[in-house]
């Protein structure tokens, strides 16, 4: 197949995986460039996904199987696009491949991690625990290969890993590489980051230990997370049975994200379920401006949780969060709109329903991209042959991201066939 009949997909989350798979299953070659050492994106960090509340690995497994079974899909991890030149049907792309220091001989036996003397913050768990510098990103990682974080290695520190590995899988001489690709169309699928809680000054600026984000709660509730699934407070490991959720933490706010992040209400409702299931004697209070559960989520999800008398919904924008000295409990101040009075309530832990912030602005692929006034990628201003998908255009759940990515695959096929 001619090189420029290929489709490049930047980002290997649910949107990017879908775009690549649909393109390849229609007969074209697809290449995924993913900056993490694994595929799956943010979905890999989620404990259960709405609305069925099954583990996201079920959905990801299916995608990974389709990739393994399709020789027309190639993927690079630890890779980032440096430059895209050219036009529809004929793009020249420069990709930087960062070294993994572990080659394809790796069988995932963990011997390197056991021998490794250095530790690093585990970003997969938002820094709530540590891994060795030689680590598997998470228990179901695809590719199932260890990676060595050279920044966390002390001098000669790869030596014990090298000696411990029976499979010749450690390669201390790996260097960054640059490769060139010729492709006919490009899909931007770099997804989102949780909104930075340090920017939320009235909500504690990320300084209060027992104020965590919704994505941190996903990791706390996950059986392969930092606490093996126990929902406990970061400050002292105490069971968190009295929890507040603060909605629109950064979203629908002209000083932060101007848009509604679409999934935060659904995520907090799901999180209320995690807490209530784990601790039958727990209490949850959700502080909201408006509860938004679009479409079928309303009856399949919201109504079910509303029936629980131990989940209290309070309409009001939180004005202040403070830490109690000594106990490290967290006090929330809010005006209860329906009662017309101010509330000051104290909780074991507070979860900020932080919204979705776009990733394109921080990456090099973002240099030629226009943004709408509300900060999303302006799809209509993209060069012909380049398509943005999923959460780049509008915050979305997995179902909407996957539908959008399937549409983008069709647009790519049309693009390369036009030439």
Binding mask 39-58 for ligand FAD (x = CB under 6 A): --xxx--x--xx--------
Q: Does 413 bind ligand FAD (CB under 6 A)?
A: no
Q: Considering the rule CB under 6 A, would residue 140 count as an interface residue with ligand FAD?
A: no
Of 68-76, 143-151, 212-220, 333-341, the segment contacting ligand FAD by CB under 6 A is 212-220
d(CA 370, CA 294): 28
**DSSP string for residues in 290-336:** -----TTHIIIIIHHHHT-TTEEEEES-EEEEEEPTTT--EEEEEEE
Q: Does 286 bind ligand FAD (CB under 6 A)?
A: no
**Cα torsion angle, 51, 53, 56, 58, sign:** negative
Q: Give how many residues touch ligand FAD by CB under 6 A.
A: 39
In the sheet that 211-213 helps form, which strands lie side by side, from edge to edge?
211-213, 349-354, 242-249, 283-288, 311-315
Each residue of 184-217: b (16+ CB within 10 Å) or e?
Answer: bbbbbbbbbebbebeebeebbebebebbbbbbbb
Cβ proximity to ligand FAD: between 39 and 111 the closer is 39
Token pair belonging to 265: 């209400």
**Smallest gap from residue 51 Cβ to ligand FAD (A):** 8
Q: Per CB under 6 A, does 363 bind ligand FAD?
A: yes
Among the listed residues 13, 37, 250, 385, the single contact to ligand FAD using CB under 6 A? 13
Q: Is 386:185 a contact under the CB 8 Å cutoff?
A: yes
Longest dimension (CA), the chain: 69
Among 125, 222, 359, 415, binds ligand FAD (CB under 6 A): 359
- For position 12 contacting ligand FAD by CB under 6 A, the verdict is yes
- x/- letters, 386..405, toward ligand FAD (CB under 6 A): ----xx----xxxx-x----
How far is the first Cα of the chain from the last one, in angstroms, to the nearest whole number?
14
Nearer to ligand FAD, 132 or 270 (CB): 270
Binding site for ligand FAD (CB under 6 A): 10-16, 33-36, 41-43, 46, 49-50, 80-81, 189-192, 214-215, 218, 263, 267, 270, 359, 363, 365, 390-391, 396-399, 401
């Amino acid at each position: 197949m001619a090189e420029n009949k290929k489709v490049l997909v930047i980002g290997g989350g649910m949107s990017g995986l879908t775009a690549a798979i649909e393109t390849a299953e229609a007969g074209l070659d697809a290449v995924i460039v993913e900056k993490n050492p694994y595929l799956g994106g943010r979905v890999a960090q989620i404990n259960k996904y709405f609305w069925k509340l099954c583990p996201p690995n079920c959905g990801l497994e299916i995608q990974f199987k389709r990739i393994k079974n399709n020789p027309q899909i190639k993927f690079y991890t630890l890779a980032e696009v440096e430059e895209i030149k050219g036009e529809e049907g004929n793009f020249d792309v420069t990709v930087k491949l960062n070294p993994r220091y572990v080659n394809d001989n790796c069988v995932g036996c963990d011997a390197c991690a056991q021998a490794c003397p250095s530790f690093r913050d585990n970003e997969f768990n938002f820094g709530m625990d540590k891994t060795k510098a030689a680590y598997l990103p998470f228990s179901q990682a695809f590719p199932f290969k260890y990676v060595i974080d050279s920044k966390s290695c002390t001098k000669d520190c790869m030596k014990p890993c090298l000696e411990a590995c029976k499979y010749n899988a450690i390669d201390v001489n790996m260097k960054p590489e640059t490769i060139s690709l010729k492709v006919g169309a490009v899909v931007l699928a770099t997804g989102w980051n949780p909104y930075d809680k340090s920017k939320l000054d009235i909500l504690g600026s990320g300084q209060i230990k027992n104020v965590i984000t919704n994505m941190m709660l996903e990791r706390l509730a996950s059986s392969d997370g930092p606490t093996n699934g126990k929902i406990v407070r970061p400050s002292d490991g105490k069971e968190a049975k009295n929890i507040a959720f603060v909605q629109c933490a950064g979203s629908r706010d002209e000083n932060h994200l101007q848009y509604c992040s679409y999934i935060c209400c659904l995520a907090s409702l799901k999180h209320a379920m995690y807490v209530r299931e784990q601790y039958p004697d727990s209490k949850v209070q959700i502080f909201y401006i408006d509860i938004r559960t679009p479409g079928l989520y309303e009856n399949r999800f919201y109504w079910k949780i509303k029936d629980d008398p131990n989940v209290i919904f309070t309409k009001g924008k939180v004005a202040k969060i403070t830490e109690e000295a000594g106990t490290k409990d967290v006090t929330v101040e809010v005006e209860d709109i329906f009662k017309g009075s101010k509330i000051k309530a104290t909780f074991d832990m507070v979860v900020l329903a932080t919204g979705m912030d776009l990733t394109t602005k921080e990456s090099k692929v973002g240099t030629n991209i226009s943004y709408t006034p509300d900060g999303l990628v302006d799809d209509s201003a993209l060069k012909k042959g380049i398509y943005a998908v999923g959460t780049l255009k509008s915050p979305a759940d997995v179902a909407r991201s996957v539908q959008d990515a399937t549409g983008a695959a069709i647009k790519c096929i049309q693009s390369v066939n036009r030439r």
